[in-house]
A and B are shown apart, each in its own frame.
Chain A
Amino acid sequence: MDLITKEKHEKYTPLHEIHLKLGARMIEFAGWLMPVQYKSILEEHEIVRTHAGLFDISHMGEFILEGADVIDFLQHLMTNDLKLLEESKSQYSCMCYGNGTVVDDMIYYEETPERFRIIINAGNIRKDFQWLSEHLGTYNVKISDVSAKRCRLALQGPKSDKLLAPLVDSDLSALNRFFFTKCNLNEIPIIIARTGYTGEKGFEISFDIKSVETIWNALQRSGASPIGLGARDTLRLEACYSLYGHEISDTITPIEANIGWVVKEKKGIDFIGKDVLLRQKAEGTSRILVGINLLERGIIRQNYKLFKNGEYIGYVTSGGYSPTLNKTIGLAFIKTEYRAIGTEFEIEIRKKFLKAIVVSTPFYRKKNNK
């Protein structure tokens, strides 16, 4: 049999030694050596859906943008509308090229109207820094890449409030979704945001790299289990969150990716990609991202092809086994005429054609998700 090839990697997160001690299996991801699983992807998935899991997401990038014009600058680059934002709140957005395809997707945090923190994808750090810098022009904004100075963790799952609350000097019950607070854990300053990538309640946390062991150990001791990238992917797929390079990329627009809600009209504001994106939003696109289920046994993976009556009609962007639903799920680009829920088609898997169907998304939605 053919085992997964070990690719070369460049970087380790500050938690590398801890991952090894925990017996994690490490793989390359976007140039980083990351834990794919500690014990079992299925078990880790279940822990996050029912209890609480702890993820090392320090491979992701973190920039600070400061200056009098930060809001105007971001309004020019982002598709979402910063007028909907306020201090201590964060917002998900895409940053697009002039043709509407995606440079990156990200969450930015308004610390003050003149200071923003941005968390970006690991594989896009250099590209994003360059893109932001190129567009500074006369805006009074300074960009700093603090990725290597800080550590980022996610604590996700229905028990995450219960585990984190006793450790910090802030009232987390007052923290609403997409809000964040600067507080202390064991007297160490940390930023806690009620955001996530799993479809569960939970937090994303950022703090100085020198406290990495203290914070990780405190969270683990509180009862949160370490979770690898494998479960991170099955969890986000069930919740239908986009992954750069799959559902969105520099050849895909947010409208095609069916996240048109991140593109706002922003009256009177010119933002990069606006013309194309607003036209696509009004007129539609020739392909659209949909959720699919495989109706026969098998597993679907990225780039498998979709056919209807022998005609090629699209491809899978992400696919796999859903532990929560115990079936094969996927996201796929499909010719827009076939987007209706219930449409049946075929997917080519190793020269066989298996029946599949368009279904509603997300595949998994937590009830009462704060």
Chain B
Amino acid sequence: MDYKLPSELKYTPTHEWVRVENSLIVTGISDYAQHQLGDIVYIELPELGAIFDKGNVIEEIESVKAVSEFLMPLSGEIIEVNEKLANNPELVNSSPYGDGWFVKIKISDPKELEKLLSLDDYQEVIKKDEK
């Protein structure tokens, strides 16, 4: 199956994408991840100003099938959440990199950026996952 995976984004092995905007990042889940989850019906959003370490669970994503966790892709502070997802969680399915973004984070350790995956590396993760 073909997934939309923009080459200008960075990814995590747990299927989050990251767009770097100066010292801020925007993040969400990849097209592959939203395909795997199926119809998303509810998203429990984190609070503004909350500070998390990389890998912490910050959101719960409820699809019709099951609940999944959204992990903090990099350490930092939540400075904006996508309020549209409260009423329209299906935006994550229809526009995972656009209107379906999750949160903006002010990152605390820019060195962590180096550990994010390139598109090629992420495609390897998907290949293994699909086996």
Taking CB atoms, residues of chain B closer than 8 Å to A3 are 15, 33, 36-37, 68, 129
Taking CB atoms, residues of chain B closer than 8 Å to A4 are 36-37, 65-66, 68
How far, in angstroms, from A23 to B2 measured CA to CA in the complex? 12
Taking CB atoms, residues of chain A closer than 8 Å to B29 are 1
Q: What 0/1 pattern do residues 3 to 36 of A give for CB contact below 8 A with B?
A: 1100000000000000000010100000000001
Taking CB atoms, residues of chain B closer than 8 Å to A37 are 38
Taking CB atoms, residues of chain A closer than 8 Å to B15 are 1, 3
How far, in angstroms, from A2 to B62 measured CA to CA in the complex? 12
Residues of A contacting B: mostly: loop
The answer to whether A230 touches B65, judged by C-beta atoms less than 8 angstroms apart, is yes
A36-B65, A42-B64, A320-B64 are known contacts. Are A1 and B14 too (CB-CB below 8 A)? yes
Q: Does B25 contact A (CB under 8 A)?
A: no
Partner-B contacts on A (CB < 8 A): 1-4, 23, 25, 36-37, 40-42, 230, 234, 297-299, 301, 320-321, 323, 328, 350
Taking CB atoms, residues of chain B closer than 8 Å to A328 are 42
Most chain A beta-carbon contacts within 10 A, residue among B29, B60, B62: B62
Query: Which among B1, B36, B39, B66 is the interface contact of A40 at CB below 8 angstroms?
Result: B39
Total number of B residues with any Cβ neighbor in A under 8 Å:
26
Query: Which among B62, B64, B67, B71 is the interface contact of A41 at CB below 8 angstroms?
Result: B64
28 contacts between A and B (CB under 8 A): A1-B14, A1-B16, A1-B61, A1-B69, A1-B70, A1-B71, A2-B69, A3-B33, A3-B36, A3-B129, A4-B37, A4-B66, A4-B68, A25-B38, A37-B38, A40-B38, A41-B39, A41-B64, A230-B38, A230-B64, A234-B64, A297-B86, A298-B62, A299-B42, A299-B67, A301-B67, A320-B64, A328-B42
Nearest CB on A from B13, distance (A)? 10
Task: Give how many A-B residue pairs fall within 8 Å (CB-CB).
Answer: 63
For chain B, residues 54 to 78, give those with C-beta under 8 angstroms from any C-beta of chain A.
Answer: 60-62, 64-71
How far, in angstroms, from A40 to B42 measured CA to CA in the complex? 16
The answer to whether A41 touches B38, judged by C-beta atoms less than 8 angstroms apart, is yes
The answer to whether A2 touches B65, judged by C-beta atoms less than 8 angstroms apart, is no
Taking CB atoms, residues of chain B closer than 8 Å to A320 are 64
For chain B, residues 32 to 62, give those with C-beta under 8 angstroms from any C-beta of chain A.
Answer: 33, 36-39, 41-42, 44, 60-62
Nearest CB on A from B86, distance (A)? 8
A1-B15, A3-B15 are known contacts. Are A321 and B38 too (CB-CB below 8 A)? no
A40-B39, A299-B41 are known contacts. Are A321 and B64 too (CB-CB below 8 A)? yes
How far, in angstroms, from A36 to B65 measured CA to CA in the complex? 9
How far, in angstroms, from A1 to B35 measured CA to CA in the complex? 13
How far, in angstroms, from A222 to B114 measured CA to CA in the complex? 55
Taking CB atoms, residues of chain A closer than 8 Å to B66 are 4, 301
The answer to whether B68 touches A1, judged by C-beta atoms less than 8 angstroms apart, is yes
Chain A residue at minimum C-beta to C-beta distance from B86: A297
